[in-house]
């Protein structure tokens, strides 16, 4: 191909056709520019494909984290319900009109066992990865808002539970 173009150039110079040679040069430049634009488009397409693959992998990891959280909650829920029922029954006994200080002492000494259970360690690795890599910005707005809202709400609730537990421990201990 290069030999063909070289042959055309050589013929035009020998025949002293400067205008034609100039048009030929502009045509070559045009072809080079078109080639560069095509190469850039292919590169952009490839980068978009790589980003889409990373997003798909991150969303799969996010789904896996949420599934693990759900299984953990399902596993701990019976214990939490049991503790809730016990605390409610103790609260009801203390709140009865006939309850005395002796009732409170009986409950605190022999029946109430403050189980200082460590807060449930929810999975946030995939979400943190989405935030740190900036991939979350490539998601559709509704999905991005939903994911951020979910994890911000979860963090807020976990913080509130932690503060309440610490306050309660400080008062009981």
Instruction: Decide which of 118 and 144 is more confident.
Output: 144
pLDDT at 96 over 70: yes
In a 3-state reduction of DSSP, which class is residue 18? helix
pLDDT at 1 over 60: no
Q: For the chain, give percent helix, strand, coil, nearest 5.
A: 85, 0, 15
Mean pLDDT in residue range 55-79? 93
Q: How confident is the model at residue 30 (pLDDT cuts 50, 70, 90)?
A: very high
Q: What pLDDT was estimated at residue 40?
A: 96
Q: Where are the domains of the chain?
A: 2-154
Question: Cα separation of 38 and 44, whole Å?
Answer: 10
Residue of 64, 57, 56 whose CA lies nearest to 124? 64
pLDDT at 116 over 90: no
Instruction: Decide which of 137 and 95 is more confident.
Output: 137
- Residues sharing a CB contact under 8 Å with residue 44, sequence separation 6 or more, in sequence order: none
Share of the chain above pLDDT 90, in %: 46
Instruction: Decide which of 108 and 36 is more confident.
Output: 36
Share of the chain above pLDDT 70, in %: 86
User: Which DSSP string do the residues of 91-160 spell out, in sequence order?
Assistant: HHHHHSTT--HHHHHHIIIII-----PPPP----HHHHHHHHHTGGGGS-HHHHHHHHHHHHHHHHHHHH
Condensed to tens digits (0 to 9), the pLDDT of residues 79-89 reads 888 888 887 88
Burial tier of 123 (Cβ tally within 10 Å: 0-12, 13-18, 19+)? middle
Q: How confident is the model at residue 44 (pLDDT cuts 50, 70, 90)?
A: very high
């Amino acid at each position: 191909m290069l030999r063909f173009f070289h042959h055309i150039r050589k013929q035009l110079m020998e025949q002293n056709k400067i205008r034609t040679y100039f048009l030929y040069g502009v045509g070559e430049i045009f072809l080079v520019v078109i080639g560069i634009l095509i190469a850039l488009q292919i590169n952009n397409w490839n980068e978009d494909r790589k980003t889409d693959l990373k997003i798909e992998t991150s969303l799969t990891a996010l789904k896996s984290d949420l599934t693990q959280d759900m299984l953990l909650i399902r596993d701990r829920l019976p214990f939490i319900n049991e503790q809730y029922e016990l605390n409610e029954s103790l609260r009801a006994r203390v709140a009865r009109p006939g309850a005395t200080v002796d009732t409170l002492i009986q409950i605190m000494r022999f029946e109430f066992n403050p189980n200082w259970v460590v807060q449930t360690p929810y999975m946030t690795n995939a979400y943190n990865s989405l935030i740190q890599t900036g991939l979350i910005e490539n998601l559709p707005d509704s999905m991005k808002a939903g994911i951020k809202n979910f994890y911000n709400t979860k963090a807020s609730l976990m913080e509130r539970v932690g503060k309440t537990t610490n306050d309660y421990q400080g008062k009981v201990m």
